[in-house]
A and B are shown apart, each in its own frame.
Chain A
Amino acid sequence: MTEVLLKVDGLKKHFPITGGVLGKQTGSVKAVDDISFWVNKGETLGLVGESGCGKSTTGRMLMRLIDPTEGQVVFEGKNLVTLSDNEMRKTRKDMQMVFQDPFASLNPRHTVEKILEEPLIVHGIGTKKERKQMVNEMLEVVGLSSYHAKRYPHQFSGGQRQRIGIARALMTRPKLIIADEPVSALDVSIQSQVLNLLEDLQKEFQLTYIFIAHDLGVVKHISDRVGVMYLGRLVEITDADRLYEKPLHPYTRALLSAVPIPDPAVKREMELLTGDIPSPANPPKGCAFHTRCKECMEICKTDRPELREIEPGHFAACHLYS
């Protein structure tokens, strides 16, 4: 049976908005507003949504790079939210992150060798010689060569840099990798290379991924299950295949219809979304999506729908199904 590696319960992040002479709090941006999900060992959970829907904030909260306002993150039975800074620091050995921008996420003044060796030093793994050996092995694993070790990040292309970023995340042999839009800054031709690399590494090291992206095609390719976020809330989460075949939430349907089909002969009904995404500082009452939803009902304007299991393993937060 599948084992749960990470469980998120009621996670919230409200960034305060302060104003006035005294810096009084005048409101808050609800970047992530009460989301719950779990990740099984060895699977890939995709998180998709528009820009600003809180998916990156969620990823960073899981690593405690941003402290949650409320809620629990349980990783291997430990609630990360209540850990001390030092315990959390040690836990990061088992959970690592791959960042979006390979041009910004590597220290420009360090050589590749130093970048990759540092996680080992920090967690006290191996002797100097062993660490060098591990760095060279890891470079080969991600498709670079050991002679690249002495170079600086600016001497690599975007795809190569992202490989270095992935190698850094793998150095401590983590169980969970949170990939925050790891391919969205890359050329399409390079994207598939990096995605394949991630898939191969998953098999090789028995990794669990949380894969954050805004590109549904990419997410479909790599994910076992997919969660869809809108305005800081999780609106639907289920198996990847099921989500793409039979989306329940109107927002998911609109998103899917916006994915281009590489065949001009295929005609498809587009469910274009109208209007802008509302401000997370002042989200609509009731269902956050009701301002743009074609199937909006009276209840949607007043009551916030809970994420419910509509079909076995298929969760959606929508009043259409209650």
Chain B
Amino acid sequence: MEISTQKQMQPPVIKAEEKVTSPWAEAWYSFKKNKLALVGTGIVIFFILLAIFAPLIAPEGINDQKMSVRLQAPSADHWFGTDDFGRDIFSRVVYGARISLWVGTFAVMGSIIVGCLLGILAGYYGKWVDSLISRIFDIMLAFPSILLAIAIVAVLGPSLRNALIAIAIINIPNFGRLIRSRVLSVKEEEYIMAAKAVGMKDSRILFQHILPNSMAPIIVQGTLAIATAIIEAAALGFLGLGADAPNPEWGKMLADAKQFMIQAPWTMIFPGLAIMLTVLGFNLMGDGLRDALDPRMKN
């Protein structure tokens, strides 16, 4: 190709060694500077490692019953004490991290996938599609979410898996609405008009252009929602609608401990602390992500 245009014009020069930064890399840079967010990330990573290496960390199994050491206070042998069956609470809390993180992560992933799909359809196609999907969201949001979760588990039957499904379902409208509003604003951007002008199909515009530009608030909301999901799972466990008997789900441990609350408070304190710390970690991390990814979302 002849490059006749080159000579008459001064091509504006950018130094070649200048660092190339993607929008994600810039977000990471500002995230790194946020100390609280790093603390939160540290807590989250700590619990993830705990969950992964639980068999190596926990000194005993989750259901090793020793009637001789029932309800013992924390000691060198049993760091967090023992419960009414003589099981080591430290071991149970460590294994409990697996359950809570598993429920939190997968429930939120489920709601993100379904919520995003519905939200994108509603936002992009508008009209009756939007009305239908938005009204369904409204109906779901009209219920107090934990009541809805209880109702769903009651219908499906109490088990950990069904608790996860219930938590996923009740969170769908949150993500759906969020992505719908993002799509509504992103689709009016000129680069979407430009994508159409180039000759792209709807599916390509949706998944290559609108979705990546709508992801930031979803990631933030997703992190915060994991925290909520963990609490919801614990609440369902506490009500006896979550994990089955020997499984050391933190909420279930709280429920089992409540009759010994006075004589053996450690049976309650440690699972409670575990819930609190994990949720705090996810919340701090989520806040940090929000500041880094979308400064305008503050307040």
| Contact between A159 and B12, CB atoms less than 8 A apart | yes
- A160 at interface, CB cutoff 8 A: yes
Chain A residues with CB below 8 A from B21, complex form? 152, 155
Name the residue on A nearest B2 (C-beta): A204
* A160–B9 CA distance with the chains assembled, in angstroms: 12
Name the residue on B nearest A107 (C-beta): B191
| Contact between A109 and B212, CB atoms less than 8 A apart | yes
Identify which of B56-64, B75-83, B192-200, B265-273 touches chain A: B192-200
- A168 at interface, CB cutoff 8 A: yes
| Contact between B201 and A89, CB atoms less than 8 A apart | yes
* A109–B8 CA distance with the chains assembled, in angstroms: 32
Q: How far is the CB of B215 from chain A (nearest CB, A)?
A: 9
| Contact between A143 and B5, CB atoms less than 8 A apart | yes
Contact with B along A192-207 (1 / 0, CB 8 A): 0100110011001000
Point out the residue from A106, A123, A140, A143 that lies within 8 Å of B191, measured CB to CB: A106
* A321–B97 CA distance with the chains assembled, in angstroms: 86
- B142 at interface, CB cutoff 8 A: no
- B189 at interface, CB cutoff 8 A: yes
| Contact between A108 and B199, CB atoms less than 8 A apart | no
Contact with B along A94-128 (1 / 0, CB 8 A): 00110111001111110100000011001100000
Q: How far is the CB of B265 from chain A (nearest CB, A)?
A: 51
| Contact between A155 and B20, CB atoms less than 8 A apart | yes
- B3 at interface, CB cutoff 8 A: yes
| Contact between A118 and B198, CB atoms less than 8 A apart | yes
Chain B residues with CB below 8 A from A51, complex form? none
- B209 at interface, CB cutoff 8 A: yes
Chain B residues with CB below 8 A from A60, complex form? 193
Chain B residues with CB below 8 A from A122, complex form? 198-201, 204
Given contacts A90-B199, A92-B197, A148-B14, contact A108 B23 (CB under 8 A): yes
Q: From residue 1 to 60 of chain B, which have CB atoms closer than 8 A to chain A?
A: 1-6, 8-12, 14, 16, 18, 20-23
Point out the residue from A123, A137, A155, A200 that lies within 8 Å of B14, measured CB to CB: A155
| Contact between B190 and A92, CB atoms less than 8 A apart | no
Chain B residues with CB below 8 A from A143, complex form? 5-6, 9, 11-12
| Contact between A97 and B197, CB atoms less than 8 A apart | yes
* A147–B11 CA distance with the chains assembled, in angstroms: 13
Point out the residue from A109, A118, A193, A197 that lies within 8 Å of B200, measured CB to CB: A118
- B213 at interface, CB cutoff 8 A: yes
Point out the residue from A91, A99, A140 that lies within 8 Å of B6, measured CB to CB: A140
- A141 at interface, CB cutoff 8 A: yes
- A294 at interface, CB cutoff 8 A: no
Q: How far is the CB of B9 from chain A (nearest CB, A)?
A: 5
Given A105-B194, A119-B199, 16 more pairs with CB closer than 8 A: A63-B197, A65-B193, A96-B198, A104-B189, A106-B194, A107-B213, A118-B195, A122-B198, A143-B9, A150-B20, A155-B14, A160-B14, A172-B198, A172-B199, A201-B5, A204-B4
Interface residues in chain B, defined as those with a beta carbon under 8 Å from any beta carbon in chain A: 1-6, 8-12, 14, 16, 18, 20-23, 189-191, 193-201, 204, 208-209, 212-213
A-B contact pairs, 26 of them (CB 8 A): A65-B196, A96-B198, A100-B190, A106-B191, A108-B191, A118-B195, A118-B200, A122-B199, A123-B199, A140-B6, A141-B1, A141-B5, A143-B5, A143-B11, A144-B11, A150-B20, A151-B20, A152-B20, A152-B21, A152-B22, A155-B14, A155-B21, A156-B14, A196-B8, A200-B5, A201-B5
